[in-house]
Amino acid sequence: MNIVSYLTQKKKIVDRALDACLKKPAETPPELSRAMRYSALAGGKRLRPILCMAAAEVVGGREKDVLPVACALELIHTHSLIYDDLPCMDDDDYRRGKLTCHKKFGEATAVLAGDALLVKAFELLSDMMRKKEDGISADRRLHAVNEIASAIGDRGLCAGQIVDLASEGKKISTRTLKYIHVHKTAALIVASVRCGALLGGANEKQLKALTKYAECTGLAFQIQDDVLDVLGDEKKLGKKAGQDEKMGKNTYPKLFGIEASKKKATALKNEAVASLRAFDKKAEPLRGIAEFFVRRDF
Ligand code: GRG
């Protein structure tokens, strides 16, 4: 399958849905709405929502039924990017080819826009809890919401981020590096796949296989991100390269070198693809996404 055209087509679906859910309600202050829309509609790859939809479809679910959850995942991801770029965190001026939210709107507005996007995500998720017509059980819906909440807080993104920040300029073990990557990046990727699978109707065995797939691709994604920070083209990346080195970040290339990092990412990709062996050709998008994660140049 042509994974690039698949991703392009799915991105359009997600972009349209995000645009609709971020239409400014009359009572929202215009500056807040502008900042939320600026960052959320700034042209990300939409990989987390696409993974969620692909995971639902591989177990027989329908894309349209998980689209609100897919959007919620992207809003959470955007929140994390806005925060990650703040001066108190990674202090970046560019993201997705544009000025970062705080550079464009100021720090206070960026923090509030990030918060409002995070809360909007849970608004979408709680709206989803009330739906009945798609036949998904209340138990599965609740499970999905819980997966997301546990993936982003003190055992997920926040945990990975705080250890990442505390490790800047220090020598850390391979174990700590893996902890950072697994929590700061892979956790949301795993939650995206697991939510799609749960809502799509996965049985225990399918959920286990898809979780393994997501853990491997999630880590491979961050390793490739580290590699791109060294080798990538700033225009394609839409942000400054070489930032990890500048900030004294601990990365796979820093600890093991570029070639070993690429090999590790490829080995993880192979493991991810192998975990899909029980699925038929409906799993082609997931296989393609795993390949894309380690071959991408943006
Ligand atoms: C979500 C409650 C909550 C807190 C966030 C700031 C923070 C805590 C965590 C930082 C997480 C972070 C930004 C990790 C990096 C992940 C990563 C590699 C992002 C780039 O993802 P892409 O390439 O970006 O999918 P696009 O722009 O395409 O969406």
pLDDT of 132: 82
pLDDT of 29: 96
pLDDT of 275: 98
Tell me the longest C-alpha to C-alpha distance in the chain: 53
- Of 78, 154, 85, give the one whose Cα is nearest residue 114: 78
Give the chain's count of helices (H) and strands (E): 16, 2
Q: CB of 115 within 8 A of CB of 257?
A: no
CB of 39 within 6 A of ligand 1: the answer is no
pLDDT of 131: 87
Say how many Å lie between the CA of residue 78 and the centre of ligand 1: 7
Supply the DSSP symbol for 282. G
pLDDT of 85: 98
CB of 74 within 6 A of ligand 1: the answer is no
CB of 164 within 6 A of ligand 1: the answer is no
Rounded-to-integer distance, Cα 233 and Cα 113, Å: 29
Say how many Å lie between the CA of residue 281 and the centre of ligand 1: 30
pLDDT of 133: 84
| Average pLDDT per consecutive 10 residues, the chain (298 residues; last block may be shorter) | 96 98 93 98 95 98 97 98 98 96 98 98 94 91 97 98 97 97 98 98 98 98 97 93 94 96 98 97 97 96
Contacts of residue 17, defined as CB under 8 A and 6 or more positions apart, other chains included, come to 67, 68, 70, 71
pLDDT of 42: 83
Amino acid letter, residue 278: A
Closest ligand 1 atom to residue 79 Cα is 1
Kindly report whether the global pTM for this prediction surpasses the value 0.85.
yes
CA-CA distances (angstroms) from residue 232 to 14, 52, 91? 26, 27, 19
- Of 83, 254, 249, 256, give the one whose Cα is nearest residue 167: 249
